[in-house]
Amino acid sequence: MEIFLGLVLSYLLGSIPTAYLFGKALKGIDIRQHGSGNVGATNAFRILGKGPGTVVLLLDILKGALAITVVGNFFHFDKVYLRLLLGVMVVIGHNWTVFLQFKGGKGIATSLGVLIGLAIQFESLRIVLTVTLVAWIIPFLITGYVSLSSMIAGIVLPLAMLFTKQTPEILALGAVFCTFVLVRHIPNMKRLLAGQEKQVNFPFKRNK
């Protein structure tokens, strides 16, 4: 029962639609009807601006970290696989939120939060976190495409786990997250190939 409650709580935590809530609170809009229609930080940057977008990004990251640390500690999950399941559930909640007819974000920020939470718990994952972040940052600074950077980082994640000889359970998590990222970015892949994908400028990247 504790495992079930922990997984449900993690899913509901991930399901909190931060970009949607900020869109309603700040502009009185349904963010799903603007920009890419995605309920995530990238679309929040595009529609709500850099300030609100930054807050949404940080809150989405926090959801993932809290699922691993606070929820995991509350239920005294001492087995690695239980923490990993919490991470999967919080990302599923973000991607397919029950509060918006199962239409959510793409899980990048929340997945990052999960990795941060796991790195806090397991020292061996800190190098994986660092490599994955670098794999996102460098392509973004070069191209300005958030989607391309996210897909590259998603692919690098399980590879970094493999090269650092993580346990089979953690390797499975990396494979699941990579699959989530690629599946959620299929429309972006099509736009990239057609030359129609939009570049996004975050606060640390000056507009061209």
Mean predicted confidence (pLDDT) in 131-154:
94
Among the residue ranges 19-23, 89-93, 203-207, the one predicted with the least confidence is 203-207
Q: Is residue 203 part of a domain?
A: no
Q: Is residue 117 part of a domain?
A: yes
> 202 pLDDT band (50/70/90 cuts)?
very low
Residues 77 and 6 sit within 8 Å (Cβ to Cβ): yes
Question: What's the whole-number average pLDDT of the chain?
Answer: 92
Which position has the higher pLDDT, 1 or 25? 25
Question: Which pLDDT value is given to residue 205?
Answer: 47
Structure confidence by residue, pLDDT tens digits, 62-110: 999 999 999 999 999 989 999 999 999 999 999 999 999 898 899 999 9
Domain count, the chain: 1
Domain span at residue 40 reads 2-96+110-194
Backbone φ/ψ region at 194: left (φ over 0), alpha (ψ -120 to 50), beta: alpha
Q: Is residue 8 part of a domain?
A: yes
Q: Is residue 146 part of a domain?
A: yes
Q: What is the pTM of this model?
A: 0.91
> 208 pLDDT band (50/70/90 cuts)?
very low
